[in-house]
């Protein structure tokens, strides 16, 4: 969730359309139509499912924020680390739910977000980086790109272009931990030893909307394209 919303202390309470909205301090009331599979029970309280919550947020979030939350829903969990093996939703299931509610406020933005969502972004900044790259006219990158696809446990790049041998890593706050720094160095050296160019981005790059980062990526790709050893067989779509 974007910080401006995740830090909110307001409680959003929804009722069927036949009942009046709740009007109390600290409570935001809604009336809506929610189908049975869009509601679940947690500790005896009926709450909207994650996918339905995503749809309801379409009226409040910007398009990029909605894509970020959607990417989180369809992300494949890390095996053995998250206590689950399946994503919270699929793009197909979200699209079907959106189709049930053609008149819902924010539905146009939800449809636009679905077209931009991808499986493979492990964080909001990774999604924002991908969107910034595409907005800058760069080819859409591959996500969670393994150095050696045939080898289980191979080092991976958050984003990249295999044919250009370019890996882009976004290292967030947890990458500052000593053990993670060592792991990241091994990861980057593995790519570099295989002849890849590695660009490591941080929250400083996020601060300007990845404008500087996309310019660096363009320069790097241009240099690789002009190199006699790399240019053969490449097109602008690679």
Task: Express each pLDDT in 81-137 by its tens digit.
Answer: 788 889 999 999 999 999 999 999 999 999 999 999 999 999 999 999 999 999 999
Give Cβ neighbours of residue 74 (< 8 Å, ≥ 6 apart): 87, 88, 89, 90, 91, 94, 117, 118, 119
Residues of the chain with pLDDT under 50: 229-238
The kind and range of the H/E element at 214 are helix 211-226
What pLDDT sits at residue 235? 45
**Which of 193, 161, 174, 83 shows the shortest CA–CA distance to 122?**
174
User: Can you tell me whether residue 219 is helix, strand or coil?
Assistant: helix
What pLDDT sits at residue 230? 47
Tell me the C-alpha to C-alpha distance, in Å, between residue 229 and each of 9, 148, 191, 197.
57, 21, 18, 14
The kind and range of the H/E element at 91 are helix 91-100
Tell me the C-alpha to C-alpha distance, in Å, between residue 198 and each of 13, 67, 159, 227.
47, 26, 10, 17
What pLDDT sits at residue 15? 85
pTM above 0.85, yes or no: yes
Place of tokens 């002009």: 226
What pLDDT sits at residue 173? 63
What pLDDT sits at residue 180? 75
| Cβ pair 53, 37 in contact under 8 A | no
Count CB atoms within 10 A of the CB of residue 78. 10
Domains and CATH numbers, the chain: 1-118 (no CATH), 120-238 (3.40.960.10)
């Amino acid at each position: 969730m974007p910080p401006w919303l995740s830090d909110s202390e307001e409680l959003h309470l929804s009722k069927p359309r036949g009942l009046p909205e709740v009007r109390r301090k600290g409570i935001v009331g809604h009336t809506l139509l929610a189908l049975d599979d869009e509601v679940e029970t947690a500790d005896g309280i009926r709450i909207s499912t994650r996918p339905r919550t995503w749809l309801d947020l379409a009226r409040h979030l910007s398009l990029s924020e909605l894509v970020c939350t959607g990417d989180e829903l369809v992300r494949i969990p890390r095996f053995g680390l998250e206590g689950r093996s399946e994503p919270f939703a699929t793009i197909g299931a979200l699209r079907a739910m959106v189709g049930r509610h053609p008149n819902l406020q924010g539905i146009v933005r939800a449809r636009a977000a679905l077209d931009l969502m991808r499986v493979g972004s492990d964080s909001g900044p990774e999604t924002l980086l991908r969107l910034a790259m595409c907005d800058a006219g760069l080819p859409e990158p591959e996500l969670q790109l393994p150095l050696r696809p045939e080898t289980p446990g191979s080092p991976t790049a958050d984003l990249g272009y295999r044919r250009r041998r370019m890996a882009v890593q976004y290292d967030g706050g947890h990458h500052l931990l000593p053990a993670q720094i060592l792991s990241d160095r091994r990861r980057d050296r593995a790519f570099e030893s295989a002849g890849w160019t590695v660009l490591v981005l941080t929250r400083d790059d996020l601060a300007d909307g990845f404008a500087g980062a996309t310019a660096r990526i363009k320069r790097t790709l241009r240099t690789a394209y002009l190199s006699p050893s790399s240019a053969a067989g490449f097109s602008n779509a690679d």
